[in-house]
């Protein structure tokens, strides 16, 4: 079973946020803000709500390379969010697998080869949850995975600082350009 709502039942203002493929494909963490919203039942909330560490996979793709692409749900969700029917959710036991470590692992050639091996192609390439669970993974000791997560967190902190700095530079550049066109610099 998967959550499904027709496009006309989505809005940007009312309902519960729903993650679509475009919210996580080729990202480390899934986007969880400014999502399309849909009215959902209590039963849908129980079955399809995501939480930190859930791995989301692309169920079908026009290309074999797109199948099984993965992102994880970030920490500190502020509201209930669901995943829609073109997505497979796999929830790991965080006592054995740290989500950030698994996300890195899911992008390796070793893992990708297995995903493609378990996929099926007709008009589209698809994979089932069972196909993803068939993939063998190497799980290092938990303390090594935790070390990896700390490194990932530092990288994302630095990335955020750089993005903020770049936005400030862009704003300053635009301000100077406007003043130059108005003749205020000479």
pLDDT digits 0-9 by tens, 94-119: 899 999 999 999 999 999 999 999 99
Cα of first residue to Cα of last residue in the chain, in angstroms, is 67
Q: Do residues 44 and 72 make contact, with C-beta atoms less than 8 angstroms apart?
A: no
Q: How much is the pLDDT for 76?
A: 86
Instruction: Tell me the pLDDT tens digit for each residue of 150-173.
Output: 999 999 899 999 999 999 999 999
Quote the pLDDT of residue 38: 87
Whether residue 1 has pLDDT greater than 70: no
Is residue 137 within 8 Å of 102, Cβ to Cβ? yes
What distances in angstroms separate CA 48 from CA 24, 80, 89, 107, 165, one per listed residue?
16, 10, 9, 24, 37
Give the closest residue to 56 by CA, choosing from 80, 81, 33, 25: 25
What pLDDT is stored for residue 39 in this prediction?
86
Residue by residue, DSSP assigns 46-93 as HHHB--TT-EEEE-EESSGGGTT-EEEPPS---S-EEE-TTEEEE---
pLDDT digit string, tens, across residues 34-67: 899 888 889 988 999 999 999 999 998 888 888 8
Q: How would residue 181 be classed by pLDDT, with cut points 50, 70 and 90?
A: confident
For residues 128-150, average pLDDT? 93
């Amino acid at each position: 079973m998967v959550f499904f709502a027709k496009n006309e039942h989505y809005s940007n203002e009312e309902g519960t946020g729903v993650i679509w493929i475009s919210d996580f494909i080729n990202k480390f963490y899934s986007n969880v803000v400014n999502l399309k919203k849909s009215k959902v039942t209590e039963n849908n909330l129980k079955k399809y709500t995501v939480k930190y560490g859930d791995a989301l996979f692309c169920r079908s793709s026009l290309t074999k390379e797109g199948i099984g692409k993965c992102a994880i749900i970030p920490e500190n969700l502020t509201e209930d969010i669901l995943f829609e029917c073109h997505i497979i959710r796999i929830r790991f036991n965080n006592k054995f697998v740290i989500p950030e470590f698994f996300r890195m692992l899911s992008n390796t050639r070793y893992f990708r080869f297995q995903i493609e091996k378990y996929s099926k192609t007709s008009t589209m390439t698809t994979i089932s949850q069972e196909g993803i669970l068939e993939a063998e993974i190497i799980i290092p000791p938990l303390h090594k995975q935790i070390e990896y997560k700390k490194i990932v967190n530092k990288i994302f902190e630095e990335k955020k600082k750089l993005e903020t700095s770049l936005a400030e530079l862009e704003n300053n550049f635009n301000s100077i350009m406007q003043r130059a066109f108005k003749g205020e610099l000479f």
